[in-house]
């Protein structure tokens, strides 16, 4: 039986919000956050990390078949997406969700629920507004502590993965692109061709004269920039490449951003790896073949001029 004194001592802690209380104590399953941004879309998982503590075969015993389980501990695991995305092909609107998995011997189903206040024992019932989809799982080497992480990402999305014990669940997330890749054929006809591109020398960065640094790889002063319309896209080849010591500066993609204006995208082994939003390639207006273009920074500084070659 608790004494009056102990109740008086414990009462202030009972009034603390859950997050504040968690910061004041050692937890068997400590809190963690994993977050990744791809093309302006941020995906965040907030969860607590249970440990196996000598247990094996967690699924089917500790997490029973037929149970709807939050992949974490204590409060329900939460998933926040800053924009509409697709997860395993299923549309997931922008927002924050509690995360649950209906575990079974065969198929596993993930359930995203708008109620993020649920405790791990309060699995939600089937109701409107939930997002449900089957999730893949693989067998991997034993992992002691439940872990969420992002093992892979590219220009279109990421793989968000969860593992505990030997069960690995990879979730493919596709994000909405912030750019348009295709160019209207009438616009493309004006632009395709071969150009001589003269690049302005970039300012010298500060150097530490006390250290021996290798010579900096500087862009060439003049290159040939050949533009073709392939598969609806304006693709270009820079010869010689902007940088010779690093791959990914030979092949380019022109991404429409307005009348006669484009952003530069870097292609590496056919994959779009970077969109240079700070650079605008402007061909100007007109009905015939474009005589040339300018490369501008956001402050309107011209850092390159292209002239059409015969």
Identify whether 179 is part of a domain.
no
Tell me: do 61 and 159 sit in the same domain. yes
- 3-class secondary structure, 63: strand
Does residue 189 share a domain with residue 135? Answer: no
- Any domain includes 15: no
**Residue 271 falls within a domain, yes or no?**
yes
pLDDT tens, residue by residue, 55-104:
999 999 999 999 999 999 999 999 999 999 999 999 999 999 999 999 99
**Which long-range contacts (C-beta less than 8 Å, at least 24 apart) are formed by 30-36?**
31/74, 32/148, 34/148, 34/149, 34/150, 36/150, 36/153, 36/158, 36/160
The reply to whether 162 and 237 lie within a common domain is no
DSSP secondary structure letters along 83-147 = S-EEETTEEE-SEEEEEEEE--SS-EEEEEES----BTT-PPPS-TT-EEEEE--EEEEEEEEEE
Residue 14 covered by a domain: no
The pLDDT value given to residue 5:
39
Instruction: Give domain status of residue 139, yes or no.
Output: yes
Same domain (yes/no): 191, 170: no
Residues of the chain with pLDDT under 50: 1-17, 20-21
CATH of the domain at 244: 2.40.128
User: Do both 34 and 168 map to the same domain?
Assistant: yes
Residue 280 lies in a domain: yes
Q: Return d(Cα 95, Cα 305) in angstroms, integer.
A: 44
Task: Say if residue 103 is in the same domain as residue 228.
Answer: no
- The reply to whether 159 and 83 lie within a common domain is yes
In the structure encoding, which two tokens stand for residue 33, read together?
């956050």
Please report whether residue 109 resides in a domain. yes
Task: Answer yes or no: do 42 and 159 share one domain.
Answer: yes
What is the span of the domain harbouring residue 302?
A: 185-202+219-308
Are residues 151 and 43 both part of a single domain? yes
- What pLDDT is recorded for position 16? 47
Render pLDDT for 114-138 as a digit per residue (tens, 0 to 9). Answer: 999 999 999 999 999 999 999 999 9
Give the chain's domain count: 2
Q: Looking at the structure, do residues 41 and 128 belong to the same domain, yes or no?
A: yes
User: Is residue 207 in a domain?
Assistant: no
H or E segment to which residue 14 belongs: helix 4-14
Statement to judge: residues 106 and 46 lie in one domain: yes
Same domain? For 197 and 113 the reply is no
């Amino acid at each position: 039986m608790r004494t009056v004194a102990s109740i008086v001592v414990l009462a202030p802690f009972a009034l603390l919000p859950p997050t504040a209380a968690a910061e004041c104590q050692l937890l068997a399953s400590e809190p963690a956050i994993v977050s990744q941004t791809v093309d302006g879309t941020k995906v965040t998982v907030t969860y607590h990390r249970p440990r196996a503590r000598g247990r094996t075969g967690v699924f089917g015993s500790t997490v029973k078949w037929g149970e709807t389980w939050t992949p974490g501990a204590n409060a329900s695991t939460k998933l926040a997406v800053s924009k509409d995305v697709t997860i395993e092909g299923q549309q997931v609107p922008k927002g924050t969700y509690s995360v649950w998995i209906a575990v079974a011997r065969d198929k596993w189903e993930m359930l995203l629920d708008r109620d993020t206040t649920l405790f791990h024992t309060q699995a939600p019932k089937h109701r409107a507004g939930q997002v449900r989809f089957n999730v893949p799982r693989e067998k991997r080497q034993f992992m002691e502590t439940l872990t969420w992480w992002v093992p892979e990402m590219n220009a279109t999305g990421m793989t968000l993965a969860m593992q505990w014990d030997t069960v690995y669940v990879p979730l493919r997330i596709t994000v909405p692109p912030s750019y348009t890749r295709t160019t209207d054929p009438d616009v493309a006809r004006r632009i395709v061709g071969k150009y001589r591109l003269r690049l302005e020398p970039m300012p010298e960065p500060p150097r530490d004269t006390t250290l021996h640094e290798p010579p900096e790889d500087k862009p060439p002063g003049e290159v040939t920039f050949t533009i073709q319309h392939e598969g609806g896209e304006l693709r270009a080849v820079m010869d010689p490449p902007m940088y010779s010591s690093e791959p990914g500066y030979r092949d380019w993609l022109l991404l429409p951003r307005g009348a006669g204006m484009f952003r530069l995208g870097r292609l590496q082994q056919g994959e779009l790896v970077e969109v240079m939003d700070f650079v605008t390639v402007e061909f100007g207006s007109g009905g015939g073949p474009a005589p040339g273009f300018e490369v501008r920074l956001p402050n309107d500084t011209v850092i390159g001029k292209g002239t059409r070659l015969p």
